[in-house]
A and B are shown apart, each in its own frame.
Chain A
């Protein structure tokens, strides 16, 4: 199923070239926009603050399309590279971002936790969220 979805997503991205996902923060966050470079630093826990605000990156658990898309487009790393990265970082005391098991819980998490930053399908973005980056 996941494979089907993955293939479908790739097909869609390649076909439409239109952004489907967005990196979001809470509406009241002072952060307005972040580029891929900055997002990569944040999600690889190389950078914890943005504009004096501590950031809480949040990952979707598992291999959902949104996550793989985020990793390949934003982080520009495949899962093997990422795992390798976290193994190495672990010895430097750097832990991977927290996870949530569902998109809904990511949304809720972002809404409730100060500095939380995550990615969601654009369709799920509402007034409570602020889009910083689309991919």
Chain B
């Protein structure tokens, strides 16, 4: 049941219940009261009627007593020869309009005189309703009796009976007048004072008695029905008035739910509690609207962030992939924003490293491509790992060759860069020797042997190419020289240019080897071969301008010592002016 229906019902109940209860109570009480009054009235009327009947009977009694006291009654003794008694009785009967007869009976029971003339002289055989004894007036002897045969019609003639009011006498269970009893009656009863054996009933048709009240009740019910209709209508209007804003609230809320249009508002035109509710509702919707706007904004921001994050992740993934093609330093330098990815370059002094596998083509021709790829990849990976460990910038792989430089994007200083580069090269050579053993163990008969060339010089470093395809690399004659030195180097060795040598000679023992003349450079360049550490164990190196002396004291014999002394004496003599 809807709230509206409940409210209407409640209003109707509130309005009608006291009304109905009161009217029903009063109606019932009134009905009882009416009945009581009717019964009381009927009692009064019955009393009056009983009085009249009593009076009538009393009058009859008086009459016959008077008659009995008359001298005439002495005529009983003469058998009413003179018919004085009969005449008197006839007069009296006529006078009273009696239904019945007077009889004078003598002491022997014979009817001496009677208004029923036929019965004179015969024994009395009727029913005596009333009788008085007769006494002679001269000596008070009982000489007989005066009897009255009495019909109930003498009494019922006083009754003015009709369809609605009825009097009746009840004598020994007989009803006078003999009528059908009214089905539903109000009745009162009593007895006649003089003759208690005669009961009397006064009845009234209940429908007739309550006709006025019933008519009133009908009018009341009609009024009630009309009242109910009016109250219902008022209740409906009142409920509508009360609930209109609530229904409006409800429909607005539904509309907001359906359309998601939070700009809708309920019109507030009342200042009562419901008006407050509507205002509160509006405030709530306003709050929700604001909240939703904020959430939307936030959501958009988050989406943007998520998209950016997604893009960043994509970029990260991409850059991770990309990083494999770039030296970590370059990569980091670019991705940390230290360097813009744009065409441009700078000039720097770098140490450049080149390596390649000696006779790579010849070696690889005899291998299966899978083995070759595996070997080459392992080699390049191992070498790159070492390079990265030393902070090198791996510029590119050119087939089996590797190009590496130190000094950009991070530089520890030119000398340190050169030292690192040489140390790295030696590490690589050592690692390759270890790998050679592994490869041999794995069944490769001709393991790789590498050669390394290093040069320190000024290069142009930066991004080269076009806007759509760039390459971070170094260019310059120093690069070419480094490549040339590498080509010159013996397998399994590290060759360095003089420029590099000057930077690292304190730390690494090197032997001067041949000179090369790079393209475009007029003067030949002195090359040095860096001695591997294992070979230099126990070897003492003394190096000065114009000479380099290496010796191993524990292996020196007396002969070799003498030979060394002679050589040194000769050199020092020849070179002195």
Contacts and interface: CB of A to CB of B under 8 A. Distances in A.
B225 interface: no
A112 interface: yes
B3 interface: no
Contact of A101 (B77, B84, B136, B139): B84
Contacts of B82: 100-102, 105
B79 interface: yes
Given A98-B74, A105-B78, A108-B78, 17 more contacts: A54-B139, A56-B136, A57-B138, A95-B137, A98-B136, A99-B71, A100-B74, A100-B75, A100-B82, A101-B84, A102-B81, A102-B82, A105-B75, A108-B79, A109-B74, A112-B77, A113-B77
A50 to B, nearest CB: 14
A83 interface: no
A59 to B, nearest CB: 10
B71 A112 contact: no
Contacts of A109: 74, 77-78
6 contacts: A54-B139, A95-B137, A100-B82, A105-B75, A108-B81, A109-B77
A42 to B, nearest CB: 12
Nearest to A111: B78
Contacts of B81: 102, 104-105, 108
A92 B82 CA distance: 31
Contact of A56 (B75, B79, B84, B138): B138
B240 to A, nearest CB: 103
A97 interface: yes
Contacts of B78: 100, 105, 108-109, 112
A95 to B, nearest CB: 7
Contacts of A108: 78-79, 81
Residue of A98, A102, A108 with most chain B CB atoms under a 10 A cut-off: A98
Interface residues of A, number: 17
Interface string B239-266: 0000000000000000000000000000
Interface string A84-122: 000000000001011111101100110011010000000
A72 B82 CA distance: 26
A100 B85 CA distance: 12
A98 B79 contact: no
A102 B82 CA distance: 7
Interface string B7-44: 00000000000000000000000000000000000000
A61 to B, nearest CB: 8
Interface in B118-151: 136-139
Interface string B65-83: 0000001001101110110
A99 B137 CA distance: 10
A112 B139 CA distance: 14
Interface string A61-96: 000000000000000000000000000000000010
A95 B70 CA distance: 13
Contact of B137 (A98, A100, A105, A115): A98
Interface in B42-72: 71
Contacts of A101: 75, 82, 84
Pick the 8 closest A-B CB pairs, nearest first. Answer: A101-B82, A105-B81, A108-B78, A105-B78, A56-B138, A98-B74, A109-B78, A98-B138
Contacts of A56: 136, 138-139
Residue of B75, B82, B84, B138 with most chain A CB atoms under a 10 A cut-off: B138
Interface string B477-521: 000000000000000000000000000000000000000000000
Nearest to B82: A101
